[in-house]
Structures are given as structure tokens and as C-alpha cells.
Amino acid sequence: MENLNRRRFFKNLALLAGMSLLPDVTNATTANGLVSRQRYKIAVIDLMILKRQKLSAIALTQEIGADGLELDMGGLGNRDTFDNKLADPVIRKEFLDKAKALHIEICSLAMTGFYAQSFATRPTYQQMIGDCIATMKAMNVKVAFLPLGVSGDLVKNPELRPAIVERLKVAGEMARKAGVIIGIETALPAADEVRLLKDVGSPAVQIYFNFSNPLKQGRDLISELRILGRKNICQIHCTDEDGVWLQDNTRLDMHKIKTVLDEMRWKGWLVIERSRDAKNPKSVKENFGANTKFLKSVFQQ
């Protein structure tokens, strides 16, 4: 019954998103409006290109050369929920119209407020998840990024696991009913992430994989991808820590990663988070443009 429910969930999600059910192809809109059949699409993040919830992030994304943009839900602080400008239908329409005009897809919404705030203890977490899902539905976005962050680090704070599992069950049910996916980022090794997902028990909660996490912990990135498997990874932060561009990163073999993802028959968004040149970290167009160009040369042919 569980497997049947998972199959139905993914089928319904694909239909809602207008996605092909074929395992090896993703529809991507190119800059000239033509549809190219690519299984991997490249995105940047409004927060990281210094345009958090700013309309100009869309034009900058086009200048960088990316296919899509991950939008942040806004700051949190001591508020009950995110400072989300996209909740305003007028502003939201401006974003959607601009994205359509420039052929930029909104690939996901990010709840980065949870990097510093505790998902395990925050009293208004259901309101926050609900606000994110409402914005997703209004913008036809199918993936939300939920980092467990410093306060929810399950390696350093394993005692938080029961609370996080219970809250993810609630969030997962909310997402399942809405036909969307919540992608979590943890500090756990892949095998422990698989166990975490099993305990949560919802096909609407998956892993938003970040290449830098296993790399900075000395774990094998390729093995981690294979352990997680295709169905547990909803999206990928396809970068490392800052220092050098992706093309110059000696510990991140992107060609090998593509081979493994191809073998896994994974498809979806590769989202550039960091990998900025340490000598010029504030040059947004140069850093993200170079990384976008490199990823496209590897993943889009």
C-alpha cells in the first residue's frame, strides 16, 4: 500500500507540474522561447546573487545564463512567519510575468530562515510551512527547500531527531495534500538520511542534496548519491564551498557526477549556491556566470 501511494503521489505531482513521465528527459525553456529536451536544468538563487525577493533577480538570472531561479521566502527573525513579499498578489504577478517574459523558470522556493532558526522548536513552524506551500501553489512551484541548519544539526544534536521526525511528518502531510515536495538538507551521512526519510514516511519529504556537505566532512560524494538513490533526491545544490570556480575545483569531478546521475536516471534542477572565487567573491555575474557556463558545458549537450 505504501509503494502504491508513493507511485500515485509522484504521478499526480508530475501531471500537476506539466512534466513528462519519461525517466530521462526534462523540458527546459531556452532563452529564445524554444523548448529543448534536457534532463538537467541549471538555476541560481536570488539570495546568493544578492537579490533576495527582488524583481531584478530574474533579469540578472537571464544575464548569468541560467535556466531558472530559486526564490527565497524572506527573512524570519522574531516574526511568526517569513517576511514574504510574494504573498502580495500584485508583487507575485510581477514576478511571474517577468519570469515568463524572460523565459526563466522559478524552480523552487527556499525557507532559508531555518538556517539559523530551529525547525525542531520553532512554535509557529506549521504556519511557516503553510505560508510557503500557499506561495508555491500560487506560483506553480513544486519544490521547497528546508534546511535543518545549525540549530537542527542532527549530527551535533541527535536528541532533536524525534521532534524533527514528528514535525516533518506534519509538514509532509501538508505538502502531500498540496501536491508539492519539501526538500530537506541535513548534515547526516546518506545512509542516515535514508533512515530519516523512512521514519518520516512521506513521499512529499525528500532530500535536497548539497555537494559541499559530504565533501567538507570527507565522505565520498559518489557513494552518497548512490545510497540515496534517484527517488530520494528532489533537487541538488550543485556547488562546493567558496574558494574557486567549479571548473577549477579539484575535489569535485563534475563529469563523474554526471555519469553517476545518468546511471541513476535522475533528472531535475542543479542549483548553484556558492563556489565563488575567493579573490573576487562579490562579483556576482562573473562568479555565477562562470559556474553556470561550466555546468551547462557538462550537463547540457
Query: Residue 135 is part of which domain span?
Result: 2-299
The pLDDT of residue 12: 56
The pLDDT of residue 5: 55
Tell me how crowded residue 196 is: count the other CB atoms within 10 A of its CB.
20
pLDDT in tens, 204-231: 999 999 999 999 999 999 999 999 999 9
Mean pLDDT, rounded, of the chain:
91
The pLDDT of residue 94: 98
Give the rounded percent of residues in the chain with a pLDDT score beyond 90: 85
Instruction: Count the domains in the chain.
Output: 1
CB 146 within 8 A of CB 167: no
Residue whose grid cell is 527582488 = 54
Instruction: CATH number of the domain at 72, please.
Output: 3.20.20.150
pLDDT in tens, 10-38: 555 544 444 333 333 343 344 434 335 79
CB 234 within 8 A of CB 208: yes
Residue 172 predicted with pLDDT over 80: yes
CA distance 201 to 246: 35
DSSP bridge pairs for 21:
none
The pLDDT of residue 62: 98
pLDDT in tens, 61-106: 999 999 999 999 999 989 999 999 999 999 999 999 999 999 999 9
How many distinct helices (H) and strands (E) make up the chain? Answer: 10, 10
153: left (phi over 0), alpha (psi -120 to 50) or beta: beta
SS3 of residue 13 by DSSP: helix
The pLDDT of residue 9: 60
CA distance 286 to 60: 12
Q: What is the mean pLDDT of residues 232-240?
A: 97
The pLDDT of residue 22: 31
Confidence of residue 301 (pLDDT cuts 50, 70, 90): confident
Q: Which three cell numbers stand for residue 84?
A: 514574504
Residue 258 predicted with pLDDT over 50: yes
The pLDDT of residue 18: 41
The pairs formed by 89-92 with CB atoms below 8 angstroms and a separation of 24 or more are: 89/138, 91/55, 92/135, 92/138, 92/139
